[in-house]
Structure 1
Amino acid sequence: MIYKVFYQPKPEQVPVRENTESFYVEASSEREARKILADKNISIEFVQQISGVFLEYEKQNLNFKVEQG
């Protein structure tokens, strides 16, 4: 499954919507996705499973790249 991860690049700062970034990770569950990301120095806001039409839409983004765990 593919998950879209919304995060703040600087974990010590208060979350600000305008600074939220995202990337994609492949994992078997949300828990596994969070485990894969545990060593990154980011503040995870939300992890969302994407599939179907939404995934196809996201793939059209030039920055679409799936990180493998």
Structure 2
Amino acid sequence: MLKIKHHIIVLFCLLSFNFWYAQELKFTAHFVLNEKPLTNVQVSVYDLSREHQVETFNTNNSHKCHINL
């Protein structure tokens, strides 16, 4: 049986300069496709201003993840 992997890239863009100077940024990302929760999602957080990866983790059996930057 052929196992198909799908790669979905989601970019969160912060367009306000208020976030640039913030001490901490917290949000929750929910992953849903066709009204069904997606589990086992690999999440990578990149800092585009410094061009490096900040954090990588997997949601495992959950369809959401809490991101604290």
After TM superposition, the score normalised by the length of structure 1 is 0.30
Q: Which has the higher strand share?
A: 2
Q: Which has the higher helix share?
A: 1
After TM superposition, the score normalised by the length of structure 2 is 0.30
